[in-house]
Amino acid sequence: MKIAIRKSIYNNGKMMILFLVVGMVSPWVMAFDYPEAGDFANGSKAWSENCARCHNMRNPSDLRDDQWVTTVFHMRARAGLTGQESRDILTFLQGSNAKVKKERQIIAKPLAVSMPATQSGKSIYEKNCVACHGVNGKGSLPGVPDFTAKNGRLLKSDRELLSNIINGFQSPGSSMPMPPKGGNSSLAEGDIQAVVTYIRAAFGRKGVE
């Protein structure tokens, strides 16, 4: 009887040590298993083409970054996604995960642009904006504003548009918030001014100062 009790205590002790070791090692292992960053713009396009057809447009802030890792890679096989597409979609969702300011009225006054543009407005739009806003500016995702609408987004001042792009915002009724700088933190303020100028020239009327 004593032998059996001692054996039970010994086995329980080994199990406790095993649980403690696993608990300490798991976060370390997961850090190395965390997927490489993908491309935000390609992820937006892949999300629209592969996920929206089965799912409603879900707000990325509904899940934490680590939860999106599990969700995206669980759906990879079911949606027939490549590894790169999965990483791109994950980058898009995590990049859209931060809380952004709700749309609000901004007093129209000059906004200083301290850093010059590094690319043309058209190039910036095609690389960073077209996946959500579309080639024609009408929007390719539910809730994305139509730049060509007569009484739409481009009636706002340059200052307000610049503020929305720099800080990110979520339009009323849209489940997809736009992250700061459209998810590309490397854009200079001059780049954002250049893309606003391009959007006005391509899809709307001359900007309101």
Task: Give the helix/strand (H/E) hosting 170.
Answer: strand 169-170
Output the pLDDT for position 99. Answer: 59
First-to-final CA distance of the chain: 89
Tell me the pLDDT tens digit for each residue of 19-71: 333 344 334 334 445 557 788 778 777 877 777 666 655 666 666 777 777 77
Per-residue confidence at 162, pLDDT binned at 50, 70, 90? Answer: very high
pTM of the predicted model as reported, rounded to 2 decimal places: 0.60
Tell me the pLDDT tens digit for each residue of 113-138: 455 566 789 999 988 888 888 899 99
Output the pLDDT for position 18. Answer: 36
Output the pLDDT for position 198. Answer: 94
6 has pLDDT over 70 = no
Output the pLDDT for position 160. Answer: 92
Spatial separation of the C-alpha atoms in residues 209 and 206, rounded to whole Å: 9
* Residues above pLDDT 70, as percent of the chain: 62
194 has pLDDT over 90 = yes
Output the pLDDT for position 116. Answer: 57
| In the chain, where the domains are located | 1-33, 40-95, 101-203
Which residues have C-beta within 8 Å of that of residue 60, sequence separation ≥ 6? 68, 92, 93, 94, 96, 97, 176, 177
CATH class of 101-203: mainly alpha
From 65-69, 87-91, 97-101, 167-171, the region with the lowest mean pLDDT: 97-101
* Residues above pLDDT 90, as percent of the chain: 17
Spatial separation of the C-alpha atoms in residues 154 and 134, rounded to whole Å: 15
